[in-house]
Amino acid sequence: MERINFSSGAKWEEIVGYSRAVKVGNTVEVTGTVAVDDNSNLVGGDSAYEQTRYVIQKIEKVLERAGASLKDVVRTRIFVTDISRWEEYGKAHGEFFREIRPCTTMVEISKLIAPEYLVEIEATAIITHA
């Protein structure tokens, strides 16, 4: 099966050695995604809800590049720095996935790569349409 790597151009991809997403066959894995724009600026400030919305929109864009959509997502993994704000993260996640209902895990971690990041999300999609 062919492997296709998708890059965002982020400086960290070369340093750490990873891709924004990898597609093998009909499966697309999206790497951990935080709320930064193309210029590495934080999006959403201190709002867990806004950061989560932006992250899912970023994931949606790379899925589309890979020939998939949010409807193909079968799993999300949500890493958060403050689980007491779960309703904010969950509200944003639900706005995109309420009908799709992928398997989801939300885990509190001590910190992300920068203190302003409140959430990081990974996604797995399986393309079932031609």
Give the CATH number, domain containing residue 48. Answer: 3.30.1330.40
pLDDT of res. 100 = 97
Q: What is the pLDDT of residue 41?
A: 94
Quote the pTM value: 0.95
In the three-class reduction of DSSP (H, G, I as helix; E, B as strand; rest coil), residue 108 is classed as strand
The tokens for 130 are 């031609």
Q: Which domain holds residue 47?
A: 3-126
Number of domains in the chain: 1
Low-confidence ranges of the chain (pLDDT < 50): none
Return the pLDDT at 130.
61
| Burial bucket for residue 50 (CB in 10 Å: 0-12, 13-18, 19+) | middle
Beta bridge partners of 73: 125
Across the beta sheet with 103-108, the strand order is 3-6, 21-24, 27-33, 119-126, 73-80, 103-108
